[in-house]
């Protein structure tokens, strides 16, 4: 084990001597898994009947990562999945920086702030909103690394299978949304003409708008449609194209005509909840924008494989993340709003004592509300050294000691 891992092991041991794990509900029915600083594989198929036994294990073996199963088993410590006898699983929603566009160009704190906002939207709009869970039924957890989890362990969801869980993800991520279900067609007779074999009606076909008392995606799309109409009525053609890529190839004169038409009919649109007075070409453009531009902005972000997996291992609250040294922190919805991982997830057991490190590149970071601009060989408080060495931004000492390739 090299000096970097020995340093992390020492600080993790200090933490686990003072802090016990935060056990999930029905922990005796869960499988636990661990990774260690001196091993490159996961130790699985472990079960605990007492909290004290897990606490003793953490103090004696000092794992780099701790996990527990979202699933409940009749025999959680059995050596194979078939022998465990699955009983059910929590409903888990995972958000991680991996899915962020341009994540490689973001700072660590910038990534986490973006993910925090997306988790808040997921919880507010979908878990508490459309799916109807209460705040008490949803537990949010900072992973200690680059994301957040939301857990629901109500009896009604425990026995949902993989297919049902994928359907929930599809709903949140607007996968397969039928735009004709949101804005259905209606037909009305505009006139009657006499033909040789009787009377015939001329029929106009037009889109309808979801009612104000709709729910779910229909209500979400109605509100977004109202904003879209307001936007277009106030925008120049160049602004429309920037805001709504579906209009990128439309000529300025056409966009001005569409703007004028919507401005003249705006009140009627939402009084009648229909586009009956709007030209078909305008209706088609509006629906195209709603389907291709707007619906994606309204959707939530979820890691589908995590939610669909009914035998998943997930990080244990109260444990430490081996690649950051940060604590895995359970949060309420209210606590999420002001949560700052680089302050609130830094264990108090990490000291202010100076530690010599050598940076692998120039690096700026704010930890415990103290800003560091680092390069070369320097000294930082222990709490900063743990994060920087865990993230492989620095090495312990003056950088001359050999390092192995693990971790």
Active site residue 38: no
Specify whether 180 is catalytic: no
DSSP string, 187-236: EEEEEEEEETTEEEEEEEEEEB---TT--HHHHHHHHHHHHHHHHHHH--
Q: For tokens 């490159």, what's the residue?
A: 40
C-alpha separations of 123 from 32, 85, 168, 220, 364 in Å: 27, 31, 13, 15, 31
Outline where 275-377 has alpha helix (H). 280-289, 295-298, 304-308, 333-337, 341-344
90, 94, 153, 309: the active-site residue:
94
Q: What letter would DSSP give residue 124?
A: I
- What CA dihedral angle connects 223, 225, 231 and 237, to 10 degrees? 160
Q: Kindly name the residue from 156, 231, 284, 303 that is annotated as catalytic.
A: 303
CA pair distance 58, 405, nearest whole angstrom: 25
Candidate list 2, 53, 90, 96, residue with the active-site label: 96
Mention every residue, 6+ apart, whose C-beta is less than 8 A from residue 227: none
Q: Report the distance separating Cα 138 and Cα 248, nearest Å.
A: 41
Active site residue 94: yes
Query: Number of C-alpha atoms within 13 angstroms, CB side, residue 25?
Result: 14
Active-site residues, by number, are: 94, 96, 303
């Amino acid at each position: 084990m090299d000096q970097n891992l020995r340093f992390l092991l020492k600080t993790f041991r200090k933490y686990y001597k003072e802090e016990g794990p935060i056990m999930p509900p029905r922990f005796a029915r869960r499988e636990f898994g661990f990774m260690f600083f001196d091993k490159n594989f996961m130790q699985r198929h472990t079960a605990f009947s007492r909290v004290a036994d897990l606490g003793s294990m953490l103090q004696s073996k000092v794992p780099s990562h701790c996990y527990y199963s979202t699933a409940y088993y009749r025999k959680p410590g059995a050596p194979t999945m078939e022998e465990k006898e699955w009983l059910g699983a929590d409903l888990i929603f995972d958000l991680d920086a991996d899915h962020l566009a341009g994540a490689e160009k973001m700072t660590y704190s910038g990534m986490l702030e973006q993910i925090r906002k997306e988790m808040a939207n997921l919880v507010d709009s979908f878990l508490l909103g459309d799916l109807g869970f209460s705040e008490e039924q949803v537990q949010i957890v900072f992973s200690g690394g680059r994301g957040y989890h939301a857990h629901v362990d109500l009896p009604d969801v425990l026995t949902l299978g993989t297919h049902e869980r994928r359907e929930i993800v599809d709903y949140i991520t607007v996968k397969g949304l039928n735009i004709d279900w949101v804005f259905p067609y209606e037909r009305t007779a505009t006139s009657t003409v006499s033909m040789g074999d009787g009377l015939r009606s001329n029929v106009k076909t037009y889109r309808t708008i979801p009612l104000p008392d709709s729910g779910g995606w229909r209500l979400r799309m109605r509100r977004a449609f109202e904003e879209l109409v307001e936007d277009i009525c106030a925008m120049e053609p160049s602004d429309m194209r920037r805001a709504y890529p579906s209009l990128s190839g439309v000529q300025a004169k056409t966009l001005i005509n569409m703007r004028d038409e919507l401005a003249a009919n705006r009140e009627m649109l939402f009084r009648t909840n229909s586009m009956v007075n709007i030209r078909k070409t305008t209706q088609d453009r509006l629906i195209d924008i709603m389907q291709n531009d707007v619906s994606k902005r309204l959707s939530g972000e979820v890691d589908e494989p995590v939610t669909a997996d009914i035998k998943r291992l997930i990080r244990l609250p109260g444990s430490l993340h081996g690649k950051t040294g940060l604590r895995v922190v359970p949060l309420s919805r209210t606590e999420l709003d002001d949560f700052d991982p680089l302050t609130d997830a830094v264990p108090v057991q990490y000291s202010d004592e100076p530690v010599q490190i050598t940076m692998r590149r120039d690096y700026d970071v704010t930890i415990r509300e103290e800003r560091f601009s680092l390069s070369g060989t320097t000294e930082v408080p222990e709490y900063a050294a743990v994060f920087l060495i865990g993230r492989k931004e620095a090495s312990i000492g003056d950088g001359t000691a050999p390092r192995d390739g693990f971790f």
